[in-house]
Amino acid sequence: MAILNKVQLIGNLGNDPELKGKKDNEVISFSVATKDTHNPDAAPEWHKIVAFKKQAVTIAEHMKKGSAIYLEGRLKTKKYEKDGHTFYLTEIMLNHFQFI
């Protein structure tokens, strides 16, 4: 049985990306909004994207809030506890992107 964990999105950055970390260990996280083309009145879906190293630097240098982007990645879900409650956060770990 084959297993596949792949996400493809075209959307717009919801915030200016902020580069964190030191040289050769950079990381960036940013949000991307997508819209349902069949229902343009629907609220946007928001996705948290995480990129590392050279991809992180390139995105930080060339992208800003509202910029259009095509991206591919894989889903990763984190579990954390806060005030006695369990929360889950699903992120997209970036593999490939293209400026639009």
Return the pLDDT at 45.
95
The pLDDT of 4-17, averaged and rounded, is: 96
* Range with lowest mean pLDDT among 37-46, 49-58, 73-82, 90-99: 37-46
What is the reported pLDDT for 23?
Answer: 85
Residue 20: per-residue pLDDT: 93
Average pLDDT over the chain, rounded to whole? 94
Task: Kindly state the average pLDDT of the residues 9-38.
Answer: 93
List of domains in the chain:
7-35+44-99 (2.40.50.140)
Distances (CA, A) of 9 to 15, 23, 31, 69, 79: 16, 28, 12, 8, 24
pTM given for the model: 0.88
Determine the Cα–Cα distance for residues 15 and 20; give it in Å rounded to an integer: 15
Give the model's pLDDT for residue 61.
Answer: 94
Four-point Cα dihedral 95, 69, 45, 17, nearest 10:
80
Predicted confidence (pLDDT) at residue 72 exceeds the cutoff of 90: yes
CA–CA separation, 5 and 26 (whole Å)? 24
Which pLDDT score is estimated for 37? 84
